[in-house]
Structure 1
Amino acid sequence: MMAKGSKAWYEVYERYIFEIEQEEAEGLKIPERYRLGALCRPWEMNGNLFSKKAGRYSPSRLNITIGSVTLTAWLTVGLIHYAANVILYAEGPALCWLPLILALIPASFLAVLVTAARNMWGRSRSLVKP
């Protein structure tokens, strides 16, 4: 959520800077190559991850992707762990508190999913849909 919110604000600032440059093109007297609307090109680029040169990557998109992959991995591991506990509980004697844990895990999991799906955490009051 933090990465997506940061990207939204960056795009807001970028749009306003671009609009100011377009409106004040004559008044600002900024050469075209220095304006935000000009093509963005670093000095050198190399997409190889082992190179120390700049690459064509979006840090905010990478953060969002890392978050999505981590969430998927966490959910997979959690579901496997939960299924293993259910199987072990069904096969033989278990601890007396295990049924309570097995009931609380899906309830908490569902609460997290519902609130995250409805975007109820950390929503900006300023940003509106484009």
Structure 2
Amino acid sequence: MSSKKNKNKYQKEDLINTLNKLYRCRDLEISNLWQRSIFLSVFLILCFTAYGYLMLDLVKVNYNANILNKYNITCLLLSSVSIIFSVIWILMAKASKAWYEVYESAISKFEYQHFKKINLPYENIMGEMMFQKDQRNDSIFSTKGGAFSPSKINIAIGQISLIIWIIVMISHSVYNITIIHLTENHIINTVLTIAIPLITIIIVLYINLSKYVKSGFLIHNE
């Protein structure tokens, strides 16, 4: 009888330890998400700051086609780097969200299967916990909690940054094409104006479509 009790006790402790490990993995992924975001945000902030500096500096100089061309080429290079970092931001945020949901799904499934053995109240199972309607207000002018996803917001930040830099690149490309014929080395300038966006597109497509940066585990479980 005593042996049976010890066995049941061990099973319960083993289940609790497993559940704790799953929660630690999830918490680690959440922590890593914000650490990565802080790391990449430094680069994006520097890119926006550099672009602002270029625009302010452009106001101070005397306008002529050669100077405008140099500024446009510089802005194209800057927007290219910024687009690549924005894409990396999006991919990192999406990857963190995917792994977070993997652990969350595992925790939810585990708790549904073993909540009786580990003495977990059913209403405390992940997926069963409710956010009361009277505590929720999605208005940005309210101080109450809203039904928003931090991970989705993080992805949206990268997407907004990407859209902004795409607009910047298109604007400077189009504008530079209109003044290239007035510059000294218009052939080289034309090549640069076309090549920079094309190379950027190739790099972005490679990063997004190739298996080089994709998780083998997540692909395997499709």
Task: Indicate the TM-score class for this superposition, using the shorter chain for normalisation.
Answer: 0.7 to 0.9
Secondary structure at the counterpart of residue 26 of structure 1 = coil
Give the alignment partner of residue 30 of structure 1, picking from 120, 129, 146: 120
Give the alignment partner of residue 76 of structure 1, picking from 160, 164, 167: 167
Structure 1 segment 8-87 matched on structure 2, within 5 A: 8-41=98-131, 44-87=135-178
Secondary structure at the counterpart of residue 29 of structure 1 = coil
State the shift of 1:100 in Å: 4.3
Q: Deviations along 1:28-79, whole A, 9 cap, x unmatched?
A: 1211121113133168222121323211101111122222222122112201
**What percentage of residue pairs aligned between the two structures are identical?**
29
Query: Unaligned regions of 5+ residues in structure 1, if any?
Result: none
Secondary structure at the counterpart of residue 57 of structure 1 = coil
Report the structure number with the largest CA radius of gyration. 2
Residues in 2 aligned to 1:31 and 1:119: alpha-carbon distance in whole angstroms = 45
Aligned equivalent of 2:199? 108
Please identify runs of 4+ aligned residues in structure 1 that moved more than 6 A: none
Query: Unaligned regions of 5+ residues in structure 2, if any?
Result: 1-90
Letter in 2 for 1:56: A
Q: Contact 2:138/2:146 (CA < 8 Å) preserved in 1? A: yes
State the shift of 1:121 in Å: 5.7
Letter in 2 for 1:60: S
Secondary structure at the counterpart of residue 218 of structure 2 = coil
Residues in 1 aligned to 2:111 and 2:201: alpha-carbon distance in whole angstroms = 48
User: How big is the alpha-carbon RMSD for the aligned residues of Structure 1 and Structure 2?
Assistant: 2.2
The structure richer in helix per residue is 2
Report the count of equivalent residues. Answer: 128
TM-score (norm. length: structure 1): 0.82
Q: Contact 2:111/2:125 (CA < 8 Å) preserved in 1? A: yes
Q: After alignment, is 120-129 or 12-21 more displaced?
A: 120-129
Aligned equivalent of 2:40? none
